[in-house]
Structure 1
Amino acid sequence: MTAPAGGPGAAVRNGPARPAGYGLVRAGRGSFLVHRRAAAVAGVLAVLLAAVCLTYLCVGESFVTPGEALKAAFGQPSSAGLVVGTLRLPRMVVGLLTGAAFGVAGALIQTVARNPLASPDVIGITQGASALTVGAMTYGITSYAVLPYLSVAGGVLAAALGYVFAWRGGLHATRFVLIGIGFAVALRSVTQLFLTKGDYTVAQQAQVWLTGSLNGRGWAEAAPLGWALLVLLPAVLWAARAQRTVTMDDDTATALGVRLNRTRLGLAALGVVLAAMATGAAGPVDFVALLAPQTARRLTGTAQIPLLCSALLGALVVVLGDVLARKLLAPTELPVGVLTAAVGAPYLIRLIVRGRAVGGRA
């Protein structure tokens, strides 16, 4: 006898109930849940990113047809081999990797702090990377083989100090953000001090780097960042799963046996390293880590910030921003950080005003 629809037999046939909006995807003997809307958004973003990348390879001082650009990008003989393969492609790859790293870093740090303002460029991480890098330039270290590692060290050190000062038997989100903002202001002053002490030529070079620019970037910057992101990929996959427990309230997570402080520390450390590496490769491209995660969350409607969509959005913002930076005032080329700041600063003000409005109603 067949059980009626919705009866006990249906639960046996269909398996355990799935959360609304999720679909079950089977891979071999295993299976996993996928948020349908997030998957659709990721697909659309990937298509948009591919279109922007093709535009990036075609547009410049000289126009290259899409066919020739694709041939040169994939190593086939092409009349655009020098322009695309040597100049535009490596610069675009740096932009892709930098944007993706900033997007994921912002998502992780905002998740830990539970605050949309907790971006690496707001709470002092990129300022720490900038201060140590500019200090090294001031004292004669200008090699791009060394500077990215100094940026990572500076970002990690700034985050560690902020974490220590914010710790009071646990990580309090509001205190962490406020202390980070204080460190950001102090470290920015240290950076300016280095600029005034350094040689004029070095100071000019450092000033361009501080705006966040892909100008002159190539495989020398792309390769180390790409390998580092590949090594960190398992940690990012762990972070995507660990996010679910961090967004719970502390009592619920503790009752489920989650080591909340360790998980938060791991997520924050991963976000700091990603942000510092991205800063080392392209300079502090401001507000990408602020914009990408919150935009991704609004597009997908998920409880957690989706890491894949944040990475795709970060890459899209940086690559599209660099296309516009090269063409808006041609032949003058703007640093990409100028455009991201022009978009991100009003968004930051909106977040602050909105937070005050919500607080006033409460």
Structure 2
Amino acid sequence: MAPGLTLLRPHTRISFLLHRRSAAVAFVLLGLLVVVMLASACVGQTYISPPEVWRTLRTGSGPYDLVVNELRVPRIAVGALVGAALGAAGALVQTVTRNPLASPDVIGVGHGATAATVLALATGVVSSPGALPVVSVLGGLAAAALVYVLAWRRGMQPSRFVLTGVGIGVALSAVVQLYLTDSELEAAEQVKLWLTGSLNGRGWAQAEPLAVVLALSLPALVWASRALRPLGLDPETAAGLGVRVDRTRLGLTVLGVVLAATATGAAGPIGFVALTAPQLARRLTRTPQLPLLNAALTGAIVLVAADLAARTLLPPLEIPVGALTALVGGPYLLWLLGRRTATR
């Protein structure tokens, strides 16, 4: 077990186990996130020096005001918030399923959010970009509820839950593809652009709902951070420690669905961030359980860095960040599969 310090609040029943290495890694990741965000604000078709970026942010005026305050900074904010939400959601889902290969998009939640958003865009039900996260959350919750109902057999078995989610995800993907086949060209192009998963054109209209959801989720995330450790054990041991296993799994799943679906509504389906960020964070902290805060910070770093690469690798073309994360995440998934096979 990693060296840690237990913090007790007087006259309460709440305690927290603080791992020194996890805390140190969190500070390092936070510093790295600031560096990556600053680099993303500086680098682009027009290079802006860090002092000039800071001056523009501080004064809100100057020759680079439009580029910095209206284009790059809102996009960076959306990328960091989406990455953090996906990283935390991935940690929650992987703990519930006890499977490092699971993520919201694997168990059908991402597909539910995507299908709901595609239908909303296609029918014109949603006209405001800020409303898309609401539609995505409803679609993700509906998909998760369907998976839970179909997978429930005198309790929730993680393996059955994952397999059911994969099946639901395939069916929902078929619904989206069927719509794209039969829809008009203009509507189909709009949906295809959203389906690539991109931060291009994203601004405060997408960042604000994400920030609100993350802020409102903080109390639940604090509770979740305490529940992750015992839930990573087998159900009998967790129950022996006083954990209500099924109820806790349900609560963590709902929280993960809300985070992942909100992120999907803001930036489109961006794969592999929720899969890779928790595992990278665990390797950095060397703790048996998935570190929730560090998974969120890792997800934010990964997505902001990927978006920076997507903007600058092939100028003046811009690669959708979802395509880039899939390009990098695919080999990682194969490596993880091979590693799990070798250890059995």
Structure-2-length-normalised TM-score: 0.94
The structure with more radius of gyration = 1
> Equivalents in 2 of 1:249, 1:24: separation in Å?
24
Separation (CA, whole Å) in 1 of partners of 2:328 and 2:136? 25
Alignment of 1:12-27 (within 5 A): 20-23=2-5
What is the aligned counterpart of 1:68 among 52, 56, 61? 52
Structure 1 position 132, deviation (Å): 1.4
Task: Give unpaired runs (5+ residues) of structure 1.
Answer: 1-18
Match of 1:120, SS? coil
Provide, for residues 25-75 of structure 1, a one-character-per-residue CA deviation record: whole Å limited to 9, x for no partner: 688999853211111211111111111100111111111110121222345
1:142 Cα deviation from its structure 2 partner? 5.2
How far apart are 1:21 and its partner, in Å?
1.1
Q: SS of the residue aligned with 1:151?
A: helix
Residue type of the alignment partner of 1:181: V
Query: Is the 1:114–1:173 Cα contact (8 Å) retained in structure 2?
Result: yes
For 2:58 and 2:160, locate their aligned partners in 1 and report how far apart those are by CA, in whole Å: 49
C-alpha separation in 2, matches of 1:169 and 1:75: 61
Given the alignment of the two structures, is residue 252 of structure 1 paired with residue 234 of structure 2, yes or no? no
User: Partners in 1 of 2:216 and 2:56 — Cα distance?
Assistant: 28
Distance across 2 between alignment mates of 1:177 and 1:42: 30
Residues 90-109 of structure 1 mapped to structure 2, 5 A cutoff: 90-109=74-93
Gaps of 5+ in 2: none
Candidates 151, 154, 159, aligned match of 1:174: 159
Aligned equivalent of 1:5? none
2:130 aligned counterpart, secondary structure: coil
Name the CA distance, whole Å, in 1 between partners of 2:270 and 2:2: 37
Question: In structure 2, what is the equivalent of residue 52 of structure 1?
Answer: 36
Moved more, 155-164 or 72-81: 72-81
Say yes or no: does 1:161 pair with 2:146: yes
**Aligned residue in 1 for 2:27:** 43
Which aligned pairs between 1:280-299 and structure 2 lie closer than 5 A?
280-299=265-284
Shift of 1:76: 4.3
Offset of residue 310 of structure 1: 0.4
Structure 1 residues 20 and 292: CA distance shift in structure 2, 3 A: closer
Shift in alpha-carbon separation, 1:186–1:233, aligned structure 2, 3 A: same
Deviates more, 1:235-244 or 1:77-86: 77-86
**Match in the other structure for 1:128:** 112
Render the CA deviation track for 1:67-111: whole Å, top value 9, x for unaligned. 121222345443321110011111110001000000000000000
107-116 or 132-141, larger mean C-alpha shift: 132-141
Q: Which of 317, 322, 341 lines up with 1:356 in the alignment?
A: 341
Deviates more, 1:164-173 or 1:253-262: 253-262
Cα distance in 2 for residues equivalent to 1:232 and 1:122: 23
Q: Distance in 2 between matches of 1:308 and 1:39?
A: 9
1:148 and 1:26 map into 2 onto residues whose CA distance is 37
Please point out which of 81, 84, 88 is paired with 2:72.
88
Match of 1:276 among 261, 281, 287: 261
Match of 1:188? 173
Q: TM-score scaled to structure 1, two decimals?
A: 0.89
Deviation of the 1:321 alpha carbon? 0.5
The one-letter amino acid paired with 2:3 is: G
- Give the 3-state SS of the residue equivalent to 1:284 in structure 2: coil
Amino acid at match of 1:23: L
Aligned counterparts of 1:23 and 1:74: Cα–Cα separation in 2: 39
> Partner residue of 2:17?
33
